[in-house]
Structure 1
Amino acid sequence: MSPSEPMLSVRKVETYYGKIVALRGVDVDVYPGEIVTLIGANGAGKSTLMMTICGSPQARSGQIVYDGQDITAMPTHEIIRLGIAQSPEGRRIFPRMTVMENLQMGASLVADEHFDGDLKRIFELFPRLKERAGQRGGTLSGGEQQMLAIARALMGRPKLLLLDEPSLGLAPLIVKQIFEVIKELNRTDGLTVFLVEQNAFHALKLAHRGYVMVNGSITMSGTGAELLKREEVRAAYLEGGRH
């Protein structure tokens, strides 16, 4: 796959919950080495797109191609094996397992010889997790749980990381730390990131490109800088909103 071809290509995707249309003909591209963000109001369909890419629910129509392969009708476990990892909304760590056990679960698809090196890298990115290695996930703070959710996804050595609302409910300082880690992973490791975020200001500052979703449809796209300047974006997502 050349850099001129999308790593992830979503074309005319429609997803339903029963008879309710959640996604309406969505088109999105993510190229290798990019950070792409999807912003929109709560309930716009952002998380549904993330879950549809991962095969649950599956798209009713349209096509999703990852790394040159059609994954539209693939089961989730096969999609994950191709190198896509998701840090889902609401974190969904294993609360009864320790931090270390959560990280081991994340690494379960990867050859054992990578584990020590990957763990060292994770602890450099998230020193707090090193301090909490023996602690149960459910006893961590919200910010620490979010760090653990991202770290667990990274232990699977993904080529594409899907991040769903990483800043949700967190203090501004923790949000800043998490966004700095995403930037670092992209810059030094070349990790490709598709980020769903309600915090439009942080997300668009971080992203190379962005999309705006309204009621299950993509209504705008452009570079992060372009979208930050757009009056419609500023009025809907920035002015007086969450910065």
Structure 2
Amino acid sequence: MSTAGIPLSVDAGVQPGPARKPLLSVRGVKTFYGNIIALKGVDLDVHEGEIVTLIGANGAGKSTLMMTIFGDPRAREGTITFAGRDITRMPTHQIAQLSIAQSPEGRRIFGRMSVFENLQMGASINKMAHFNEDLERVCTLFPRLKERLQQRGGTLSGGEQQMLAIARALMSRPKLLLLDEPSLGLAPLIVKQIFTIIKELNEKDGMTVFLVEQNAYHALRLAHRGYVMVTGNITMSGSGKELLENPQVRAAYLEGGHH
């Protein structure tokens, strides 16, 4: 069921601390693939210390927004700012050096490299400054990876590869963690584990997280605030709780026995 045409709700989400400039701000962003418009003027904010989720059907433009934030593809119109700095035209490698890390859709780990080498690649962005400390931290978060440090990434299970993709992103000590479809194709038990870890990163470490997710139920339960995207437009926003309880959101994204 489409939610196109639903008015934007008042954004009454949890915003930790006093009102201040967002850590990430997206304004009027339009992105094209050739002549086809994928994002049609997107506005979205992520404040420091928040988990913000973007939900929507497959093909709505969620991953395109995530990739546009990282500079590939580029926004043709609009602006993207991070910590007050305009990053709209910045090359991807420079964006990564500003303490933004991405765990992309489909994991995209280095399959021929060991788990340890994948983690080194993540740490290389800040020149291995705290490698041993950060390695210990991600091995505590993901004990499964600790057992498999010398194993090739490509031989891991889907769930382990997703853990590795998140761990690799964390090795750069990001101020903002972008997670694109972390639950995709995983067993429910592994999904639960990964969402628990995201919550822990936010609550214990104060990690700011922008989460793109098809599993609307888990994402909205986890998030302080959420946005709904339909065919390249943001159609609704609100607190995670508001969106979970919204009848249109429930009808479009939550029917099918999520408990």
Give TM class, smaller chain.
Answer: over 0.9
1:136 to 144, 152, 156: 152
Aligned to 2:39: 23
1:41 to 48, 53, 57: 57
2:216 corresponds to 1:200: yes
Q: Which runs of 4+ in 1 moved over 4 A?
A: none
Q: List aligned pairs for 1:26-105, cutoff 5 A.
A: 26-105=42-121
Q: Distance in 1 between matches of 2:155 and 2:258?
A: 27
2:201 corresponds to 1:167: no
Given residue 18 of structure 1, which amino acid in structure 2 is its aligned partner? Answer: G
Percent identity among equivalent residues? 75
- RMSD of aligned C-alpha atoms? 1.1
Cα distance 1:140–1:242, how it changes in 2: closer, same or farther (>3 A)?
A: farther
TM-score (norm 2): 0.92
2:243 corresponds to 1:227: yes
Which secondary structure does the structure 2 equivalent of 1:132 belong to?
A: coil
Residue-by-residue CA offset, 1:173-230 (whole Å, 9 max, x unaligned): 0000000000000011110000000000000000000000000000000000000000
CA contact (8 A) 2:139 2:146 kept: yes
Q: CA deviation at 1:112?
A: 3.4
Which secondary structure does the structure 1 equivalent of 2:125 belong to?
A: coil
**Which segments of 5 or more consecutive residues in structure 1 lack a partner in the other structure?**
none
- Larger RCO, structure (CA 8 Å, separation 6 or more): 2
Q: CA deviation at 1:94?
A: 0.1
1:115 to 131, 134, 145: 131
Residue-by-residue CA offset, 1:32-71 (whole Å, 9 max, x unaligned): 0000000000000000000000000000000001000000
Q: Distance in 2 between matches of 1:25 and 1:204?
A: 23
- Corresponding pairs, count: 242
Residue-by-residue CA offset, 1:145-191 (whole Å, 9 max, x unaligned): 00000000000111000000000000000000000000000011110
Q: Distance in 2 between matches of 1:241 and 1:81?
A: 42
Q: Distance in 1 between matches of 2:257 and 2:61?
A: 19
Which secondary structure does the structure 2 equivalent of 1:13 belong to?
A: strand
